[in-house]
Chain A
Amino acid sequence: MIKNIFKNFVSKSATRPYPIEVRPGFKNARGELDNKVSECTLCGICAKKCPSQCITVSRKENLWELNPFACVYCGICVDACPKSCLVHYTEHKKPARVKTNLVLKKEISPKLKVVANA
């Protein structure tokens, strides 16, 4: 016991003074989810596979929407995406005061639009 007490005096603290010092995320950790929307084809596979159904894809409005507060960070969508445009950052999402969805709009070039309309 006495030995332990003295050891605790000289040893390093077991905790980090978060948020001043933040541990970097591990490689391959499933942190914040993002979509490189320019590569996304809005196929909707991620929305269909997601177990918590927190992704909505609208082809009409070219929107890809995620509710990051309903997401359980399982990575199913990332594995399923045929374009590999979904990414998990290794850092976790920061806490927020207001819950907002991540809404990404895919910009379709005018040329492409014409082709699509034709």
Chain B
Amino acid sequence: MSKTIVPFGPQHPVLPEPIHLSLTVEDEVVKEAVPAFGYVHRGLEKLAEKRDFHQMIQVVERVCGICSMIHAMCYCQGLEHLMKVEVPRRGQFLRVIWSELHRIHSHLLWLGLYADAFGFESVFMQFWKIRERIMDINEATAGNRVIVSVNQVGGVRRDLSPSKCDWILDELNHVEKEVKALESTMSNNYTVKKRTVGKGILTREMAYELGAAGPTLRASGIAQDMRQLQYEAFDELDFEPVVETDGDAFARGLVRFKETIQSIDLVRQAIARLPQGDTFVKVKGKPEGEVVQRVEQPRGECLYYIKANGTKFLDRLRIRTPTFANIPPLAAMLPGMELADVPVLILSIDPCISCTER
């Protein structure tokens, strides 16, 4: 059969956010995929000219709702580096706790959407039900459910009381139990395997060459995680990146599933070792200079470039989000796949398009 070009997106039932793919299809098999962007650009980086560097924290949190805490943390780390302030140890641990809670709820959200993409509605509902507990923890500890607004330059704005810590641990026990109950479904279920095993294979070499990031990279056998840089309190926590070697959609699902459980463990460790002391230091003055800061987000490595000129407005703010890095691998994994698998594969890189376009 001759070639047909099928437009996929920007409006498509499987896509939570708009991305367009021009799929060249021959007999239901994808031959080429060309992505196109620009549907949700909001110009957040440009806002740095209008909002001062403190107010920008609330702006960068909105680059991506679901990893808002980690965006703000990365931005604050950059400014703290420029202004030569050291966050108190307790503040660093609290940042780890909230950032790992964010990772858990982001992965749970994704696991649900992923199950939904191949039509496994009940798993979708289960994961989202579990996620509610994490959102409740966020609301009870930080004040808001998703965009928690806990970061400030120099530390965190909220503290955790011992009773809150106990409550979090108790809730996490439930979360862990409920997530583990779904383990056999994610790793052994006929439907899940049929739709994901061997689909969209990204070999180790391809992942490396194309610059994949986060779980997409780790599912291809490369143990790289920015938390290994030991920012904040990660130097005191036991942590090994989760790696799978198959590089298919199934492996990417497994990596995220295991990371959810790992993050629960990291929160527990952080709470157990939470030192006493202040949660923030007062900062004076204005930032000056250039800095590049990297953190690990649920979707992979996120990079902030900040250029400050000694006034309260930044000269330049540039954000490279993980989905941006994962688009070339996506375009490379689609050729050879059936058209019906495309939604699952797009979901398998955990695309966050609002992040990508900012």
The finding on whether chains A and B are genuine partners in a shared complex, rather than unrelated, reads yes
A interface residues (Cβ-Cβ under 8 A, vs B): 14, 26-30, 49-52, 72-76, 79, 88
Q: Identify the stretch in B15-23, B139-147, B250-258 within 8 Å (CB) of chain A at 4 or more residues.
A: B139-147
State how many angstroms separate the Cβ of B160 from the closest Cβ of chain A: 11
| A-chain residues with CB within 8 Å of residue B147 when the two chains form the complex | 72, 74
> How far, in angstroms, from A73 to B54 measured CA to CA in the complex?
16
> How far, in angstroms, from A14 to B136 measured CA to CA in the complex?
14
- Nearest neighbor of A25 in chain B, beta-carbon distance: B139
CB pair B136 A26 closer than 8 Å: yes
> How far, in angstroms, from A20 to B149 measured CA to CA in the complex?
30
Given A14-B129, A49-B55, A52-B58: A75 in contact with B149 (beta carbons within 8 A): yes
B41 within 8 A of A: no
State how many angstroms separate the Cβ of A15 from the closest Cβ of chain B: 8
CB pair A88 B140 closer than 8 Å: no
CB pair B157 A28 closer than 8 Å: no
State how many angstroms separate the Cβ of A117 from the closest Cβ of chain B: 35
| A-chain residues with CB within 8 Å of residue B129 when the two chains form the complex | 14
| B-chain residues with CB within 8 Å of residue A79 when the two chains form the complex | 157
> How far, in angstroms, from A73 to B148 measured CA to CA in the complex?
9
Given A74-B58, A79-B157: A28 in contact with B51 (beta carbons within 8 A): no
B interface residues (Cβ-Cβ under 8 A, vs A): 51, 54-59, 62, 125, 129, 132, 136, 139-140, 143-144, 147, 149, 157-158
The winner among A30, A49, A74, A79 for most chain B CB atoms within 10 A is A74
- Nearest neighbor of B62 in chain A, beta-carbon distance: A72
State how many angstroms separate the Cβ of B317 from the closest Cβ of chain A: 14
CB pair B140 A51 closer than 8 Å: no
State how many angstroms separate the Cβ of B155 from the closest Cβ of chain A: 13
- Nearest neighbor of B141 in chain A, beta-carbon distance: A28
Contact of B58 among A26, A29, A72 (CB under 8 A): A72
| A-chain residues with CB within 8 Å of residue B132 when the two chains form the complex | 14
State how many angstroms separate the Cβ of B103 from the closest Cβ of chain A: 21
Given A75-B149, A79-B157: A51 in contact with B143 (beta carbons within 8 A): no
The winner among B54, B125, B149 for most chain A CB atoms within 10 A is B149
Given A49-B55, A72-B147, A74-B149: A29 in contact with B140 (beta carbons within 8 A): yes
Contact of B143 among A29, A49, A50 (CB under 8 A): A29
> How far, in angstroms, from A49 to B158 measured CA to CA in the complex?
18
- Nearest neighbor of A74 in chain B, beta-carbon distance: B149
| A-chain residues with CB within 8 Å of residue B140 when the two chains form the complex | 26-29
- Nearest neighbor of B137 in chain A, beta-carbon distance: A26
| A-chain residues with CB within 8 Å of residue B139 when the two chains form the complex | 26, 29
- Nearest neighbor of A76 in chain B, beta-carbon distance: B58
> How far, in angstroms, from A76 to B57 measured CA to CA in the complex?
11
> How far, in angstroms, from A29 to B146 measured CA to CA in the complex?
12
| B-chain residues with CB within 8 Å of residue A72 when the two chains form the complex | 58, 62, 147, 149
Top 9 closest A-B pairs, CB basis? A51-B58, A30-B143, A51-B55, A26-B140, A74-B149, A14-B129, A74-B58, A26-B139, A29-B139
